Structure 1
Amino acid sequence: MTNHDEAAAVRPLTLAWVSRHLEVGERIVGTEALHGGITAEMRRLTIGTRDGGTRDLVLRSFVDMERAEEWLHRETGALTLLTGTGVPAPGLVAVDPTAAQCEYPSLLMTHLAGRTVLDDEGLETRVPLLARQLVAIHAVRPTERPRKYVALTTADTVVTPKGADAAVWTAAIDVIRRPAPPYEGRFLHRDFQPGNVLFDVPPSRPESARITGVVDWAATSWGPTDLDVAHCSTNLALLHGPAWGQRFAEAYEEAGGVLAATASEQLYWRVRSGLAFSEEVRWVSQPWREAGRTELTTPVVEERLDGYVTALMDALG
């Protein structure tokens, strides 16, 4: 078996566990570390098949996470639910949520074609695709609702970026001191953003891009559509500039998605998401730099976050 790098090596117990879930005559012939994940180690496993061909699986292992069992149960439920819905999610192969057989809590799933795309080029094509995909996710009707959404940010935990307009941020913080607006609940991905969406982008025809998969379903929840839209909007604002955060919300409605009825209600969810990022700018932006967006330093991302929060307050406040 070949490894593309040392980090790709699968630990012995986990290797044996994966092997037990392969078809008769199959074996693992290669492993490759997948970069960009924050909460877990991700590896692509190349499987040699009986006919001499290969297929790929993905192994997700939670190494340093106290709530791994909870997250894996939630992701397992989501992947099972999404089978046959038309939402391009991985297929569940096996799960060991308590590390009963593996070194660490682990999930084995099918590999989806495509790649994450974080570049500015072609964004005007990808944003409507992202919006339509999120509308399709929100249309899923589970027989059993997932847990209610969790929003950990509070008015007291927000970190105002250096150089930001203190008055604007104080006003934004006051927005989330209010009670959450009423909402009609929907099935949420809860971390829908470009880093969790796979695209096929023909090199010579970027306008023909299409989504091939949506991954990382461990945070699925029940809550307002505005929450998923706000989260993706903030990611786009930090990756590509504040205007793209606003554009995504528009594209979501153009695709048939329904947001909160009033501007003040929409402001609540979008500001809450933006302020949540203030506490973890360095943590969030590191995978982007590792993926090639080296210009997205912490100060740059903080500046974009300030610009986005200011734009929200100007437009909806």
Structure 2
Amino acid sequence: MVTDHDQTGTVRPLTLDWVSRHLEVGERIISTEVLHGGITAEMRKLTVGARDGRARQLVLRTFVDVEFAADWLSREAGALSLLAGSGVPAPGLVAVDAAAVHCEYPSLLMTHVPGRTVLGNEGVEARIPALARQLVAIHAVRPVERPREYVALTTADTVVVPRVADAAVWGAAIDVIRTPAPAYEGRFLHRDLQPGNVLFDESGGRITGVVDWAAASWGPADLDVAHCAVSLALLHGPMWGLRFAAAYEEAGGVLAAAKSERLYWQVRDALASSEEVQVVSQPWREAGRTELTTRVVEERLDAYVTALMETLG
């Protein structure tokens, strides 16, 4: 986790020099703006001006005191390079200094994707099919070189059972992930596709960008679906999490055939959220969803895990 977020727009001196070396001839940074909402990285939007008066925007992503920063930025840079020309609306890679050879901290420079995150309840019914179609398109990418295998993010022994939870239901859910992972047909995964990493146009109906590819990996489509589903369940209510898997299939996506296999992946990612309720919910509150207290989010997670066990168990 970041322990020293710089809340000013100022770019650190060494990083500024590094960024400047990757601008076009005659360009210079004319303004910077802090982008809020991230959990582990500092994000700054840089407006770059040319001599003829034209301007464009870039985004600088910096990890400060993050243990796996080099790995994450290398993975993100690889994903952005892979996605160039794919039709997936991801940023374009400009430069990366994953090991902080030139910058004060590991940093990545990329093109700016227009749009805004939409976290409110209004319009969620229309956004879910859009999210599902976007995820199907991501899973359709066929990389020449596969990214590394997915990371599960939780184990049966690290699950944090909410105080409000039904211990018997959670015990049964934990037992599900004690079993070996089902066989699967691998797909290119975003691995953190959720409303906070998707940008929409002003109407909120069309996706303009998908960001934060630091966890891009290879694994089962079910896992990406499960991750987005639990985020929707916590943001908007359990029913919307359950709805997402159906929307993914309606959009042409293919999930595990057996209910037991679907349950494994859905429960695995839901239980992983139990360890991060406070971390996940804080940016939502900062973005205006002040009603999403830790207790409310825990209650929704409990209700969602219970619903999964009832419908798929």
Q: TM-score, normalised by structure 2?
A: 0.97
Secondary structure of the corresponding residue to residue 8 of structure 2: helix
Which residues of 2 match residues 115-126 of structure 1 at below 5 A? 115-126=116-127
Which residues of 2 match residues 175-190 of structure 1 at below 5 A? 175-190=176-191
Which whole-Å CA distance do the structure 2 matches of 1:78 and 1:268 have between them? 27
Which whole-Å CA distance do the structure 2 matches of 1:140 and 1:50 have between them? 38
Amino acid of the structure 2 residue aligned with 1:283: V
Amino acid of the structure 2 residue aligned with 1:182: A
Q: Give the % identical residues.
A: 77
Deviations 1:147-182 (A, max 9, x none): 011113111111111121111111111111111111
Which residues of 2 match residues 160-309 of structure 1 at below 5 A? 160-202=161-203, 209-309=205-305
Which whole-Å CA distance do the structure 2 matches of 1:161 and 1:226 have between them? 24
Paired residue total:
308
Q: CA deviation at 1:6?
A: 5.2
Which whole-Å CA distance do the structure 2 matches of 1:216 and 1:6 have between them? 19
Amino acid of the structure 2 residue aligned with 1:124: E
Which whole-Å CA distance do the structure 1 matches of 2:42 and 2:130 have between them? 28
Which whole-Å CA distance do the structure 2 matches of 1:210 and 1:254 have between them? 18
Amino acid of the structure 1 residue aligned with 2:111: T
Amino acid of the structure 1 residue aligned with 2:84: T
Secondary structure of the corresponding residue to residue 267 of structure 2: helix
Which whole-Å CA distance do the structure 1 matches of 2:231 and 2:9 have between them? 28
Which whole-Å CA distance do the structure 1 matches of 2:272 and 2:168 have between them? 18
Q: CA deviation at 1:39?
A: 1.6
Alignment of 1:57 onto 2:32: no
CA root-mean-square deviation: 1.0
Match of 2:3 in 1: none
Amino acid of the structure 2 residue aligned with 1:279: E
Amino acid of the structure 1 residue aligned with 2:73: L
Contact 2:164 2:298 in 1 (8 A): no
Amino acid of the structure 1 residue aligned with 2:286: E
Which whole-Å CA distance do the structure 1 matches of 2:7 and 2:79 have between them? 31
Change (3 A) 1:128 1:6: closer
Deviations 1:110-165 (A, max 9, x none): 00000110010011111000000000000000011110111131111111111211
Amino acid of the structure 2 residue aligned with 1:292: G
Which whole-Å CA distance do the structure 1 matches of 2:115 and 2:133 have between them? 18
Question: Structure 1: 5+ residue runs without aligned partners?
Answer: none
Which whole-Å CA distance do the structure 1 matches of 2:164 and 2:248 have between them? 32
Which whole-Å CA distance do the structure 2 matches of 1:216 and 1:306 have between them? 27
Q: CA deviation at 1:249?
A: 0.5
Which whole-Å CA distance do the structure 1 matches of 2:51 and 2:135 have between them? 38
Which residues of 2 match residues 123-142 of structure 1 at below 5 A? 123-142=124-143
Match of 1:112 in 2: 113
Q: CA deviation at 1:68?
A: 1.2
Which whole-Å CA distance do the structure 2 matches of 1:151 and 1:6 have between them? 32
Q: Which runs of 4+ in 1 moved over 6 A?
A: none
Amino acid of the structure 2 residue aligned with 1:298: T
Which whole-Å CA distance do the structure 2 matches of 1:38 and 1:180 have between them? 29
Q: TM-score, normalised by structure 1?
A: 0.96
Which whole-Å CA distance do the structure 2 matches of 1:187 and 1:32 have between them? 32
